[in-house]
């Protein structure tokens, strides 16, 4: 297998090391402090474009871009698709930030406090037995579920569990709920006491969260500071914190190897690899050594990682949320000296196209064309990678040969222009209202003062009139999960989407795992 090697250099005391924080967990002796590697190489090549077949409605410009002309003309309200089509969906008040799927069901995350305005507040459970007609079956209304699940709503397939922590706004504390989803359309709460009872919070901070592969540990990661908690859920009725550590000034998501012994933990500017085998074994006084840290300059906030193997050799894909870092593939045969062997970027992410990127995304609030969550169709010798890419929609790549990764399909859902006040469970809609540009806000204030404010006009397309933020694209940020040749996900504005991969571009392997990354 031939791959491209992107080298890292060691720079003691470099500014990015400072920004990454104190990258040692509690209990690690200074003598075992691992090396930090910094890369200044910026990917300058985009993956090959998909060859769009019949039924496609392709992008009109750069790969991944929604040009300003399409936004202003209203063309973006038709969306863009290539070898992937919509089977069915469920929008309601929007899809928050992260959702999860399991078996024939989907679970829509919540955004606080907007989800309280929905007909059924809480995490929405959908029966997707018929992807063309998803049916709501339940709403999960425990404290963790109604106060915002952010990036913590995750499934463990091995034990048929669903869990989330409470994250009202960026950072959460205290509440944690875990459910039996054996009957996936009707989850059953397992911990009515610790974590769910308002008087029995757990001592955790959270922004991100997820299970160990065996489902015995749920990890909660706080974004500021980088505080990580291991929650023992072997007995789901009595979750308990068994270890905690501060790994830096800030932290994010992670990936855990199939044996549960290593964690790839995201942070500002990169990630760190930790040996968590002592927690996996349930040692009485666990020590968590840092094995190495990797920092780079073409992505500002690493989101999460996905461990995989090719021909039995360990690798991981890692995703950058902020900046134009895209997705990187690491060879981790030696976890103390892992190396980047491939980068996945769209044309809109390349340095020479940043002006176009900014031009088309202006007014769209915090995010533009950044990757967020990816999934693979199976962990061993994966054949496809699907990624949510904010304003670029859902992107699907052929990854059978790491040296020849190329795009095979994409679906960028129709822009929900003008629906800001309806989509109260959409982080995009809420951020667009909160982050309305000054040139939009001042005319609106003046119109209100003069008694000439027209709500219909305020919610219209951005063509120079007063507007409540820019919904000229959607934000896709949830994991796109494989279900055979379908992909199930949610996007912030459009809500739940069941998508079909068309034109024979993808054949699901027999051992496809439909819950990886969910």
| Helices vs. strands in the chain: H and E counts, helices first | 8, 33
| Cβ atoms of 262 and 284 closer than 8 Å | no
Residue 504's region, left for phi above 0, alpha for psi from -120 to 50, else beta, is left
201 exposure class (CB count in 10 Å sphere: 0-12, 13-18, 19+): middle
| Cβ atoms of 397 and 344 closer than 8 Å | yes
Q: Cα separation of 263 and 255, whole Å?
A: 6
Q: Cα separation of 57 and 502, whole Å?
A: 13
| Cβ atoms of 418 and 401 closer than 8 Å | no
Q: What is the 3-state secondary structure (H, E, C) of 25-67?
A: CCCCCHHHCCCEEEECCCCCCCCECCCCCCCCECCCCCCCCCC
The pair phi, psi for residue 419, each rounded to 5°, is -105, 20
**Strands 290-296 and 36-39, bridge-based pairing:** parallel
Q: What is the pLDDT of residue 4?
A: 40
Q: What is the 3-state secondary structure (H, E, C) of 141-209?
A: CCHHHHCCCCECCEEECCCCEEEEECCCECEEECCEEEEECCCCCCCEECCCCCCCCCCCCCCCEECEE
Q: Cα separation of 437 and 363, whole Å?
A: 6
Q: What is the pLDDT of residue 463?
A: 38
Q: Cα separation of 64 and 46, whole Å?
A: 10
| Cβ atoms of 212 and 241 closer than 8 Å | no
Q: What is the pLDDT of residue 160?
A: 98
Q: What is the 3-state secondary structure (H, E, C) of 255-276?
A: EECCCCCEEEEEEECEEEEEEC
Q: State both tokens at 16.
A: 């990015």
The neighbouring-strand residues paired with 274 are: 263, 290
Tens-digit pLDDT profile for the chain (518 aa)?
A: 434 444 554 433 333 333 333 333 443 333 346 899 999 888 899 999 999 999 999 999 999 999 999 999 999 999 999 999 999 999 999 999 999 999 999 999 999 999 888 888 999 999 999 999 999 999 999 999 999 999 999 999 999 999 999 999 889 999 999 999 999 999 999 999 999 999 999 999 999 999 999 999 999 999 888 899 999 999 999 999 999 998 888 889 999 999 999 999 999 889 999 999 999 999 999 999 999 999 999 888 899 999 999 999 999 999 999 888 999 999 999 999 999 999 999 999 999 998 888 888 877 778 889 999 999 999 999 999 999 999 999 999 999 999 999 999 999 999 999 898 899 999 999 888 765 443 344 344 444 444 444 444 443 344 333 345 789 999 999 999 999 999 999 999 999 999 999 999 999 998 887 554 45
**How many other C-beta atoms are found inside a 10 Å radius of the C-beta of residue 509?**
15
- Rounded to the nearest 10°, the torsion over CA 169, 170, 173, 179 is 90
Q: Cα separation of 56 and 50, whole Å?
A: 11
| Cβ atoms of 249 and 24 closer than 8 Å | no
Q: Cα separation of 321 and 395, whole Å?
A: 15
Distances in Å between the Cα of 186 and the Cα atoms of 101, 107, 128, 146, 473 are 13, 11, 13, 17, 33
CA dihedral for 142, 147, 151, 152, sign (positive or negative): negative
Q: Cα separation of 235 and 162, whole Å?
A: 14
For tokens 């791959």, the residue is: 3
């Amino acid at each position: 297998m031939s791959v491209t090697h992107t080298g890292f250099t060691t720079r003691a005391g470099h500014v990015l090391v400072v920004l990454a924080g104190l990258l040692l967990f509690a209990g690690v002796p200074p003598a075992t402090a691992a090396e930090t590697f910094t890369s200044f190489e910026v990917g300058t090549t985009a993956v090959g474009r998909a060859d769009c077949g019949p039924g496609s409605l392709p992008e009109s410009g750069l790969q991944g871009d929604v040009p300003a002309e399409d936004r202003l003309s209203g063309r973006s309200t038709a969306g863009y698709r290539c070898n992937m089509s919509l089977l069915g969906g469920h929008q309601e008040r929007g899809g928050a930030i992260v959702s999860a799927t399991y078996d024939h069901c989907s679970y829509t995350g919540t955004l606080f406090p907007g989800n309280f305005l929905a007909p059924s507040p809480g995490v929405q459970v959908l029966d997707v037995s018929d992807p063309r007609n998803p049916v709501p079956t339940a709403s999960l209304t425990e404290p963790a579920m109604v106060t915002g699940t952010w990036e913590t709503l995750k499934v463990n397939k091995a034990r048929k569990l669903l869990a989330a922590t409470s994250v009202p706004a960026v950072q959460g504390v205290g509440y944690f709920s875990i459910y039996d989803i054996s009957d996936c359309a009707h989850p059953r709460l397992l911990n009515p006491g610790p974590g769910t009872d308002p008087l029995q919070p757990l001592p955790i901070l959270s922004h991100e969260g997820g299970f160990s592969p065996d489902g015995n540990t749920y990890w909660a990661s706080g974004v500021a500071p980088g505080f990580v908690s291991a929650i023992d859920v072997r007995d789901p009725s009595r979750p308990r914190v068994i270890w905690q550590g501060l790994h830096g000034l800030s932290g994010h998501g992670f990936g855990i190897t199939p044996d549960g012994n290593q964690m790839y933990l995201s942070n500002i500017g990169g990630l760190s690899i930790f040996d968590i085998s002592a927690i996996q074994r349930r040692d009485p006084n666990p020590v968590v050594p840092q094995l190495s840290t990797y920092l780079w300059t073409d992505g500002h906030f690493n989101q999460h990682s996905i461990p995989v193997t090719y021909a039995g050799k360990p690798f991981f894909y890692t995703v950058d949320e902020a900046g134009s870092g895209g997705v990187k593939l690491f060879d981790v045969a030696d976890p103390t000296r892992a190396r980047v062997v491939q980068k996945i970027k769209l044309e809109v992410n390349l340095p020479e196209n940043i002006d176009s990127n900014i031009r088309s995304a202006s007014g769209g609030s915090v995010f533009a064309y950044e990757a967020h969550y990816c999934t693979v169709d199976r962990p061993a010798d994966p054949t496809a990678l699907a990624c949510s890419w904010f304003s670029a929609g859902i992107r699907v790549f052929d990854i059978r040969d790491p040296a020849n990764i190329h795009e095979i399909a994409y679906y960028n859902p129709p822009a929900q222009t003008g629906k800001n006040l309806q989509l109260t469970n959409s982080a995009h809609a809420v951020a667009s209202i909160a982050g309305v540009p000054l040139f939009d806000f001042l005319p609106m204030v003046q119109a209100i003062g003069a008694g000439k404010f027209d709500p219909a006009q305020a919610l219209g397309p951005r063509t120079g009139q007063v507007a409540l933020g820019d919904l000229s694209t959607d934000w896709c940020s949830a994991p796109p999960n494989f279900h055979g040749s379908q992909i199930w996900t949610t996007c912030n504005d459009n809500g739940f989407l069941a998508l079909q991969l068309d034109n024979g571009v993808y054949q699901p392997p027999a051992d496809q795992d439909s819950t990886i990354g969910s």
